[in-house]
Amino acid sequence: MKKSESEQITHFRTANPSSVRDVNRSIVLSLIRLHEPLSRAALSEKTGIFRSNISSIVDDLIETRLVREERATPNGRGRVPYLLSLRDDTYRVAAVSIRPITTSVACSGLTARPQKVLQFKTPAHPKDAVTQIASAVRQLKAEIGMGSKKDFGRIGVSVPGLVNAHTGEVLWIPALPDYAEFPLRQELEQQTGVKIEIDNDCNLGALADMRLRQVDMGGVKDFVFLEIGDIGVGAGLILNGELYRGHDARFVAEFGHMIVDPDGPKCRCGRRGCWELYVCDRATWRRFRPSASFSEESVERVIAASLNGEKSAIKALRQTARYLAIGISNIVLALNPQVIVVAGRIMESWDQLRPFVETEFAPSQIPIHILPARMAPEPLFLQGALSLALHDVFAQPALGW
């Protein structure tokens, strides 16, 4: 039924003096995160907000113990300024990265720098995982000396498969089949008493890479993150500085399942000739040693052999580069992102792959900017889960409807 106009109007949230202040507060906090340490004067200059208003916001951030202000080290010239930085010892969050073999649990303050990381073997059943995660969270609290009255503000969780980010239900994890349809967020909230945010690992990899890149590149706002893994390709999509999750937050950017050969081998998704079958580490290894079994070191061995000038290794990498170029050019034609960020072991040979990939692009004249991710996938996913847990602290309040 169509809503009446007056009903629709109640769905607007318009700016009033208090919400404008909330927006300015989140802008100031985000700028401190990006440029710390910096002075009140620099904040005023960057935002165009009057000094007196900046001071009132900063005083509030200091009072709520999110920010500290300290005298800079004197350098013998001029007045010594007072500089603002984020506090890492007051508001704390935790993060969980579930991987097929190992699960990591970490905690951080506002800077998202991990302060402590615990690891355990990932249980085959999700109920056991919840019990072990809750126990690791308690252990973290004890080890960093959080009092019994304090708790983590949020816990961010990275899942290596499809998850509904709105409901927190796991949909499908290829490596952990028993996790399908498990209400992970609900169970973890019950066990830990802390609000849980859950997302797919590559979405969080994209988020973490964007945060790490913002610091020294002035911000990359539209990019695609790809993880070339052992048997698959994961991806995350950042549009206008925000993670894009698809209309119902169930899946997005499943570029690994773009079909590049409809008559190709069967994929685990049920279709044939998906891109990931041609660029994953196992595919690179098979080209090099068709009958030898694949292990974690396989890609390193191909790279080492190619550096030694072994022709079959160079050929194998070149073939992977060709398929990388095919898939990435499809993505670029569809989305025209600023950058494609690629993570995974194969990127250790990026200097060798790069000319091959660029040769494949050359005829199309498509300008493509590919960068290796700032970290290996495992620490990146954990970092992304910390960023997810901190998201609401820095997020601007929503205005409009």
Chain contacts with Zn ion (rule: CB under 5 A)? 257, 267, 269, 274
Min. distance of Cβ 267 from Zn ion in angstroms? 3
> How far apart are CB 17 and Zn ion at their closest, in Å?
52
How many whole angstroms separate alpha carbon 361 and alpha carbon 358?
Answer: 5
- Name the residue nearer to Zn ion (CB basis): 67 or 274: 274
143/261 with CB nearer Zn ion: 261
Q: Of the two residues 146 and 259, which places its CB atom closer to Zn ion in the complex?
A: 259
Residue 274 Cβ, how far from Zn ion at the closest point, in Å?
A: 3
Shortest Cβ 280–Zn ion spacing (Å): 11
CB 72 within 8 A of CB 90: no
From the number of C-beta atoms within 10 Å of its C-beta (0-12, 13-18, 19+), residue 309 rates as: exposed
In the complex, the smallest distance separating the C-beta of residue 112 from Zn ion, rounded to whole angstroms, is 33
Q: How far is the CB of 320 from Zn ion (least distance, A)?
A: 17
Q: How many whole angstroms separate alpha carbon 164 and alpha carbon 179?
A: 13
Which one, 180 or 267, has the nearer CB to Zn ion? 267
Provide the minimum distance between the beta carbon of 229 and Zn ion in the complex, in angstroms, as a whole number.
13
Q: What is the residue-wise DSSP string for 163-227?
A: EETTTTEEEE-TT-GGGTT--HHHHHHHHH-S-EEEEEHHHHHHHHHHHHHHHHHS---SEEEEE
Nearest 5°: phi and psi at 374?
-75, -20
Instruction: Between 58 and 274, name the residue whose CB sits nearer to Zn ion.
Output: 274
DSSP readout, 220-265?
--SEEEEEE-SS-EEEEEEETTEE---TTSS----GGG-BS-TTSP
Helix (H) or strand (E) holding 316: helix 311-335
Helical pair 184-192 and 126-143, crossing angle rounded to 10 deg: 40
Q: Quick one: 256 or 384, whose CB is closer to Zn ion?
A: 256
Contact of 255 with 331, CB cutoff 8 Å: yes
Nearer to Zn ion, 269 or 376 (CB): 269
